[in-house]
Amino acid sequence: MGHRRLIIPIFIPFGGCPHQCVFCDQKGITGTAALPGLDEVRATIETYLCTWKGIGEKEAAFYGGSFTGLPFEMQKGYLKAAGAFVEAGRLDSLRLSTRPDYIDEKIIAFVKEHGVATVELGVQSMVELVLKASGRGHTAGQTAEAVRLLKASGIKTGLQFMPGLPGDTPDTVIETVSEVIRLAPDFVRVYPSLVLKDTPLHRMYLAGDYRPWGLDEMVEVCAEAKKLLDNAGIPIIRMGLQTTNELTASIAAGPFHPSFRQLVETAVLAGY
C-alpha cells in the first residue's frame, strides 16, 4: 500500500525521431523495436492498473521517442486509447517525451486537450557545440522557447540532459546545468552518456574520435550538478539509466554503474 505514484511506461522506440542522434539505441534501452498497436497500449495500461495496490496518482507515459513527431493520426490514436482511461477516472493524466523543436502552441493545445499534464523534453545539452557534435538537430534557443510555451500553458515540464556527450567538458556540463536552472523546469533527469553498441557514438569510439568519460570523472561532475539543482529546488527524478538486461548487453563503454545515483549522493556528502 502507500501513496506512491504509478507511471505506466509505453515505449515508442525511435517513434517520431527525424534522425538518429549519435548516442541513441532505443531498442537496447527499452528492449523493444516496434511501435505498439492501440490494443497493446490498452492492454499495457489495463495490466498495470489491475496489479497496482497503491493509492497515489496514476499516469500513462509515452517514452522512448519524440511523441509529437509521430504522424498526427498516430498521436491521436495513442492519446485517445490512453485518454479513455483518464475520462473513465482510472488514470489521472498522461505524460509524453519529445524533442524541444517538436513543441509549438498548436501541439500543446492538442495534447492538453487529450489529457496530457506532463511533457518531458530531451534537451541533452544547452551548449550549441555539443548539440551539433551529437547530431541533435535542434538548438538551445529552441529548448528555451519550448519550455516557455509549456510553462505558459500550465503543463508540467521536465528536462533530460546527458553529461559527457561529444564536445562536453566539466565546464560545458555545468554551463548546461546553469541554463537548465535558468529555465526552471519542474524536474530533471540526468543520464550520463554511455557508448551503446551499433550506434554512431560506438563507431566514433572505435575510430578513436570519442573518449568516454571515466566513472569517477562523471560522478564528480554530476555531484556538482546535483548540488546546483538541489540549491535551485529542482528535483532530479532519475540519475543514471535504469539497469535492464537489454541495456547491460548493449553497453560498449562509458561510466555505467547500477547504483550511479548512490555514488553521486555519496560524493556530495563527502564534500566533492
User: What confidence tens digit (pLDDT) does each residue in 228-271 have?
Assistant: 999 999 999 999 988 787 888 889 999 999 999 999 999 999 98
Query: Does pLDDT of 20 surpass 60?
Result: no
pLDDT at 16 over 50: no
Tens-place pLDDT, residues 88-112: 999 999 999 999 999 999 999 999 9
Q: What is the mean pLDDT of residues 141-153?
A: 97
Q: What is the pLDDT of residues 214-236, one digit of tens each?
A: 999 999 999 999 999 999 999 99
**Alpha-carbon gap, residue 233 to 212, rounded angstroms:** 30
Question: Higher confidence at residue 171 or residue 30?
Answer: 171
Please compute the mean of the pLDDT values over residues 82-88 and round it to a whole number: 96
Percent of the chain with pLDDT over 70: 91
At residue 131, does pLDDT exceed 60? yes
> Which residues touch 62 (CB under 8 Å, ≥6 apart)?
10, 12, 78, 82, 94, 95, 96, 97
pLDDT the model gives residue 33: 60
pTM: 0.89
Q: What pLDDT does residue 5 have? A: 85
Give residue 236's pLDDT.
97
Q: Which fold would CATH assign to domain 6-269?
A: TIM Barrel (3.20.20)
CA nearest 62: which of 105, 120, 129, 137?
A: 120
Region 142-160: mean pLDDT is 97
3-state SS string for the chain: CCCCCEEEEEECCCCCCCCCCCCCCHHHHHCCCCCCCHHHHHHHHHHHHHHCCCCCCEEEEEECCCHHHCCHHHHHHHHHHHHHHHHCCCCCEEEEEECHHHCCHHHHHHHHHCCEEEEEEEEECCCHHHHHHCCCCCCHHHHHHHHHHHHHHCCEEEEEECCCCCCCCHHHHHHHHHHHHHHCCCEEEECCCCEECCCHHHHHHHCCCCCCCCHHHHHHHHHHHHHHHHHCCCCEEEECCCCCHHHHHHEEECCCCCCHHHHHHHHHHCCC
Residue 60 has pLDDT above 70, yes or no: yes
Which of the four pLDDT bands, split at 50, 70 and 90, describes residue 23?
low
Q: Residue 159 pairs with which residues in a beta bridge?
A: 121, 188
Instruction: Name the band, by pLDDT with cuts 50, 70 and 90, for residue 15.
Output: low
Q: In whole angstroms, what is the distance from residue 140 CA to residue 63 CA?
A: 22
Spatial separation of the C-alpha atoms in residues 256 and 240, rounded to whole Å:
8
CA angle 62, 63, 66 (to 5 degrees): 95
Measure CA 270 to chain center: 28
Above 70 in pLDDT, residue 19? no
pLDDT tens figures, 28-56: 444 446 789 999 999 999 999 999 988 88
Domain segments of the chain as ranges: 6-269
The per-residue pLDDT for 1 is 42
* Residue 204, amino acid: M
pLDDT at 24: 57
What pLDDT band is residue 180 in, cutting at 50, 70 and 90? very high
Q: What are the cell numbers at 86?
A: 483518464
